[in-house]
Amino acid sequence: MKIAVCVKEVPDTTAEKRIDPSTFRLVRTEGDRMLNEFDKYAVEEAIRLKEAGTADEVILISLGPEKAVESLRQALAMGADRLVLVSDPAAAGSDYLGTARALAKAIDETGAELVLLGAEATDARSGVLTATLGEVSGRTWVTSANSIAVNGSSITIERQSDDGVDTVEAPLPAVVSVTKAINEPRYPSLKGIMGAKKKPQDVKSLGDIGVAASDVGEAGAKTKVVGVETPPARTAGVVVKDEGDGAQQILDFLIDKKLV
* CA–CA separation, 52 and 55 (whole Å): 8
Host domain of residue 63: 2-220
pLDDT digits (tens, 9 = 90+) for 76-105: 999 999 999 999 999 998 999 999 999 999
* CA–CA separation, 235 and 240 (whole Å): 16
* Residues in a beta bridge with 85: 62, 203
| Lowest-confidence pick of 19-33, 49-63, 152-166 | 19-33
Cβ neighbors of 53 (< 8 A, separation 6 or more) are none
**Residue 29, pLDDT above cutoff 80:** no
Residue 14 has what pLDDT?
A: 82
- 183: enclosing H helix or E strand: none
29 lies in some domain = yes
Greater confidence (58 vs 21) lies with 58
pLDDT digits (tens, 9 = 90+) for 162-218: 888 899 999 999 999 999 999 999 999 999 999 999 999 999 999 999 999 999 999
- 129: enclosing H helix or E strand: helix 129-137
User: Between β-strands 201-204 and 82-86, what pairing exists: parallel, antiparallel or unpaired?
Assistant: parallel
46 lies in some domain = yes
The mean predicted confidence, pLDDT, of the chain is: 93
Cβ neighbors of 139 (< 8 A, separation 6 or more) are 115, 133, 173, 174, 175
pLDDT digits (tens, 9 = 90+) for 123-161: 888 889 999 999 999 999 999 999 999 999 999 999 988
The CA dihedral of 211, 74, 141, 121, to the nearest 10 degrees, is -90
* CA–CA separation, 192 and 231 (whole Å): 43
Percent of the chain at pLDDT exceeding 70: 100
Residue 205 has what pLDDT?
A: 97
Angle made by CA atoms 77, 111, 84, in degrees to the nearest 5: 40
Angle made by CA atoms 38, 41, 169, in degrees to the nearest 5: 110
247 lies in some domain = no
Report which residue type is found at 163: D
CATH code for position 92 = 3.40.50.620
Strand arrangement, sheet containing 2-6: 164-171, 154-161, 140-151, 174-178, 114-118, 2-6, 57-63, 82-86, 201-204
256 lies in some domain = no
255 lies in some domain = no
242 lies in some domain = no
| Count of domains observed in the chain | 1
* Residues in a beta bridge with 78: none
**Residue 30, pLDDT above cutoff 80:** no
Greater confidence (237 vs 222) lies with 222
> Is residue 66 exposed (0-12), middle (13-18) or buried (19+ Cβ within 10 Å)?
exposed
**Residue 31, pLDDT above cutoff 80:** no
165 lies in some domain = yes
Residue 142 has what pLDDT?
A: 96
Q: How far is CA 126 from CA 66, 104, 119, in A?
A: 24, 19, 9
227 lies in some domain = no
Greater confidence (232 vs 138) lies with 138
pTM of the model: 0.87
Peptide linkage before 173 cis (omega within 30 of 0): yes
